[in-house]
Structure 1
Amino acid sequence: MISNLNFGQRPSAAHARMSTSSSPQPSMSSSSESPVNTPTFDTNGLSTTDSLSDERLESRDGSNDIIPKIEETELQLSDVKPEPMAEDTPLSPTEPVRLRRARGRPRIHPPRSPTTVSKQAKARSKTGCTTCRKRKKKCDETKPFCLSCQKNNIHCEGYKPVEIWKSGKEKAAEARRSSVEIKFELPPLMGGVETDVDRTLLQHFVSRASAVLSLHGDQSTNPFTRVLLPMALQHEGLMHSVLCLSASHICSITPSKEFEDRQVFHRGKALHLLNQDLKRQKAGEGGTMVYEDSNVAQILIHLLHAICDGNTSGEYRMHMIAAKQIAMNQKLKNPEFQSLFDEFFYYHWIASEVTSMDGTEVPMMENFSLPFSINPETAGLIGVSDGLFGFISKISNLRRKLRIRIDEKIEPIMDYEALLTAHAIDTGLRNWVCPQTPGTPRYTLSMLYRQATWVYLYRTTKKSKPDPFIRSAVDDGIKYINELPAEGWIQSNVLLPLFLMGCAAFEENQRVEINRAFSGLMAATGLGNITFAKEVVDRVWHLMDTDDPDSWDWEKIINQKGWDFLAT
């Protein structure tokens, strides 16, 4: 059997003889199976056995040999040797060299030679300044401005911000998120209420601040929510005033920079709009200014703001003077608001005389009566509707006259006229009948005012020293205080009588109760002026313990501190 196959070549005669002589001749008597002869192929692809089947080849010596016929056999894979690799040595000098094609997709471009790769231009930098990139110049990338532009006296536009690469999924998620986060701000529903903080202030005024300014804890009956707030919805300046009052009350309870800033903002807006309104208004008959109801409400709110804010600079007085002018010269268009204004103005005007050395008298308190009538059961304050503030006004006038006699050292201090005035006030208090329903918190509070009025009269007409009469009167007043509920709406009227009781507390056990009452009042109302009122009482106690005669004149103590505030 031939060991190697020569594809594409015709075997020579010698080669043929070697093949036939070396291979044994087949015998006719041998096995029936024919010997397997390996065919060879010529250049035309035909088997040599086919072309030479009947031919005879001549040998070199001239003899004629018979070339046996080689049977066609099936080409076995095991007989085919693999093609040599490109780097393999060919099997014979005449055998052609075949290169094996690499697996995979064919290259689009032929591979570059190392020389071509080394000469390839480097990628252009993308981190240069904007100016150099536009000019297609090399940038030294000095930041914030490159030196190349500076040397060429060219304006350097700087560098583009570095953009963080994001995948398509991240970009899609960011686009969805931005579309969801699109939010259009709603315009304000009410003038002056612009932010979430303002809405909180408005809610606080309705639920808390208005309840500690009057004896009406129910929002439906509270004059500030029932009468004044609807006016604020129609007037932006009044709404700013309301929010300023609410912010001052919140800050007196829990100081907050955010609410303090809004308080300053609303106060500035309110005063600005009030001044604009007053410039547009014309004077009435006799040259007297006629105020709109909304402007009168602003003046009243700013008066109450001094109480919530705890202002001691006398800021309330400018509003008090304007309110006094309105009360004396005009009537308001809204009857309900007229009643609210009269009660609150006269209450704070008369109460201001208890803590001030101002010599202005209240002329409308003739015969201990008021120039208007208010139903005691629906009044927002105690003392005005039941007539007790008529007595307090008379005592304040008497106290100023006695102070003049003391300062000028005129004897006797209690002259005949002063004695008649004191006797008339005492008689009026003994004959006074409480208009409130017995057994109610209003009745207890009204009786507390009566007790404090008598203590105020005693401390005005007597020397500042302990006495069984004053001790008994203060003890009864403390009992009234302890009977009152702790709710803010009833505690809103307690500061004035508590201050008068404190300035007459000579006994240590009385002072303990007074301190407890001050702490409860601060917790229930959160009004800013309570702290200053308590500090004055502490100073009076110190002078009492040293037998100092100045403990009689707490108004002078307040004046020496440079304070001017309302104890209401």
Structure 2
Amino acid sequence: MSSSSESPSDTATLDSGVSSVKPDCAESLDENVLPKVEELELSLSDIKSEVAADALPISPTEPVRVRRARGRPRIHPQRSPTTSSSAKARSKTGCITCRKRKKKCDETKPFCQSCKKNNIHCEGYKPVELWKSGKEREAEARRASLDVKYELPPLMEGVENDVDRILLQHFVTRASCVLSLDGNHSNNPFTKILLPMALKHEGLMHSVLCLSASHFCSVNPSREHQERQAYHRGRALHLLHHDLERQKAGGDGGNIIFEDHNVAQILVHLLNTICEGSTDGEYRMHLQAAKKIVMSQKSKNGDFQCLIDEFVYYHWIASEVTSLEGTEIRMMDDFNLPFTLNPETAGMIGVSDGLFGFMSKISGLRRRIRQRIDTGQEPAMDYEAFHAAHAIDTGLRSWQCPQTPGTPRYTISMLYRQAAWVYLYRTTKESKPHPYISTAVDNGIRYIKELPAEGWIQSNVLLPLFLIGCAAFEEQQRVEVERAFQGLMACTGLGNIASAKEVVEEVWRLMDRGDPDSWDWEKIINARGWDFLAT
């Protein structure tokens, strides 16, 4: 078409123009170099359509809305460009060590192999926590708040836990009753005098609890109570030693003035050997210390001094019945002890009524006769021994019981009188059956049967029962003695009863063989390596 073609005149004009320019550019351009003009190839896809007038923004700040092409729906929220679909979450079930070290754990139970290979201590795995609902967690929190409680401090020094409180109650209701003749707690010297002192002194309280634990274990053995017994014993001896060292350092010229609570500790430790049934002579150490205190000082507390005098003299004289050692306690001519006690309030029969004065005289007579036999002196019963035996026999026959007739105290006092005469007969006569000794043993058994089976009265029966048992030649008498021993063990629970019974049975075997030495049970006890109190 004409519109798209060029005219000859135009071409001529162009040629003339070009030719006219050539001479001017000849100096700067090479004649052989011509500029190249490249044609542009356009496609329809490169041409953008104009925005429609009605799609223009209302305001300059409003973004241009571009219609999206049809296809897959939009993903909301959009994925982060850095998140890979193949990434995995870190495991929380590895062992504690690997998690701390931020190392991969192979989760081998109970200890992982990774720690083992690296020679590292594996701390194991956290316990699996079960999922719980909000109500369950709330209920647990409520229960935890209700379970919170604060322990109360001890009310009394030395009484540290529930077991100790049980032991203290046992001492008040049971143990103290079998250690004294008074079953009334208001008059019992161990609860009336000793216990108030223990409330003020920790060492004495430990001693009391040790004694109570010993008695408790003799009745009902328990490992828990045995452990508490050992604990209280150690604490009591430690505190006693500390007090004595302090008093010795502050004393005048090394003389120790023992305080009342320290003296009470010595008495309680002596009783502890009786409850335990100790046969190694441990009681003798405590008894010697108590004897020294009685002879050298007096307490300002009159009631406590009476308890000390009665307690020490009772066990001092009773120890001579079962031991080769001993010296006669100097008495007045009427066989009274060197102190005064009210028989109605005395805690131990035999001391307040003067019967133990006869016991001490008989023990001295036995030592004299034994010495003459061992040295081969004839006769064993010389004039002096005969005179002493006659004086003791006369004193026992004229003795008047200070107790009210018909009461248990009267019965047990008469039992001690009977046992003292049996003791004298077995000391001065040959060891063979005789109607006199048979009658005396029968009467002693009758007194024992008349006594009520209560701990407070049975606590004083062992010594006369031992003496009467060592004189039981007849089978029926032995049956009654064995029954009395069994009842005594069931009633009081003292550990030394079994040892006394075993010695009596050995005396019976010697009697049956006609052994003349069956009268000397002290030697039998010594031959066994024993040393104990029959109280």
TM-score per shorter chain, which class?
0.7 to 0.9
SS state at 2:377 partner: coil
Q: How does the TM-score come out when normalised to structure 2? A: 0.82
In 2 relative to 1, CA 396–171 (structure 1 residues): closer, same or farther, beyond 3 Å?
Answer: same
Q: 1:366 and 1:135, CA in 2 relative to 1: closer, same or farther beyond 3 A?
A: same
Q: Distance in 1 between matches of 2:405 and 2:364?
A: 32
2:465 counterpart residue number: 498
Mapped contact 1:459–1:504 kept (Cα < 8 A): yes
In structure 1, what is the equivalent of residue 511 of structure 2?
A: 544
> Where do residues 425-440 of structure 1 align in structure 2 (5 Å cutoff)?
425-440=392-407
Q: Does 1:272 align with 2:243?
A: no
TM-score (norm 1): 0.77
Structure-2 separation of matches of 1:140 and 1:450: 89
Q: Which residue does the alignment assign to 1:449?
A: 416
Which protein is richer in helix relative to its size? 2
1:288 counterpart = 2:243: no
1:376 corresponds in structure 2 to 343
Within-5 A mapping of 1:65-464 = 109=76, 120-130=86-96, 132-133=98-99, 136-142=102-108, 146-148=112-114, 159-282=125-248, 287-364=254-331, 367-464=334-431
Q: Deviations over 1:296-339 (max 9, x none)?
A: 00001011111111111001011001001101000012111000
Shift of 1:405: 1.0
Conserved 8 A contact 1:251-1:260? yes
Q: How much is the aligned-residue C-alpha RMSD, in angstroms?
A: 2.5
Cα shift at 1:108: 7.3
> What residue in structure 1 maps to residue 500 of structure 2?
533
Q: Percent identity?
A: 75
Higher mean alpha-carbon deviation, 155-164 vs 210-219, is at 155-164
Q: How far apart are 1:207 and its partner, in Å?
A: 0.5
Please give the alpha-carbon distance, in whole angstroms, between the structure 2 residues aligned to 1:213 and 1:107. Answer: 99
Equivalent position of 1:481 in the other structure: 448
Distance 1:476 1:178 in 2: 70
TM-aligned CA deviation for residue 477 of structure 1: 0.8
Residue 122 of structure 1 and its aligned partner are, at CA, apart by 3.6
Structure 2 CA distance for aligned equivalents of residues 387 and 142 of structure 1: 85
Tell me which of the two structures has the higher relative contact order, counting C-alpha pairs closer than 8 angstroms and 6 or more residues apart: 2
Give the C-alpha shift of residue 562 in structure 1: 1.0
CA distance in 1: counterparts of 2:121 and 2:225, whole angstroms: 48
- The higher radius of gyration belongs to 1
Q: Determine the structure 2 residue equivalent to 1:566.
A: 533
1:440 to 1:157, Cα distance in 2 relative to 1, 3 A: closer
Q: What's the CA shift for 1:284?
A: 5.2
Distance 1:361 1:138, change over 3 A: same
1:509 aligns with one of 476, 480, 486: 476
Taking the aligned partners of 1:544 and 1:326, their CA distance within structure 2 comes to 41
Which letter does structure 2 place at the counterpart of 1:437? T
**Count of aligned pairs:** 461
Task: State the AA in 1 paired with 2:159.
Answer: V
Cα 1:150–1:544 change in 2 (3 A) is closer
CA deviation string 1:372-397 (max 9, x = no partner): 10000111110000000000000000
Distance 1:182 1:366, change over 3 A: farther
Query: What letter corresponds to residue 420 of structure 1 in structure 2?
Result: H
TM-fit CA distance, 1:506? 0.3
User: How has the CA–CA distance of structure 1 residues 343 and 108 changed in structure 2, closer, same or farther, with 3 Å as cutoff?
Assistant: farther
Q: 1:415 to 1:132 in 2, by over 3 A?
A: closer
Shift of residue 145, structure 1, vs aligned partner:
5.7
1:523 aligns with 2:503: no
CA contact under 8 A between 1:365 and 1:393: conserved in structure 2? Answer: no
**Matches of 1:414 and 1:264, distance apart in 2:** 49
Which amino acid letter does the alignment assign opposite residue 171 of structure 2? F
List per-residue Cα deviations over 1:497-519 (Å, max 9, x = no partner). Answer: 00000000001111111111111
> In the aligned structure 2, how far is the partner of 1:130 from the partner of 1:234?
54
Task: Note the residue ranges of structure 2 that are not aligned, 5 or more in a row.
Answer: 1-72
Partner letter of residue 218 of structure 1?
Answer: N
State the distance in 2 between where 1:198 and 1:510 align: 43
Residue 142 of structure 1, CA deviation: 4.2
SS of the equivalent of 1:373 reads coil
CA distance in 1, matches of 2:121, 2:369: 85
Q: Does the C-alpha gap of structure 1 residues 221 and 150 become closer, same or farther in structure 2, counting only changes over 3 Å? A: closer
Shift, 1:170, TM fit = 1.9
Q: 1:176 deviation in Å?
A: 1.1
Q: Which letter maps to 2:227?
A: D
Residues of 2 paired with 1:523 and 1:129: CA distance? 61
Amino acid at match of 2:512: D
Mind listing any 5+ residue stretches in structure 1 that lack a counterpart? Answer: 1-105
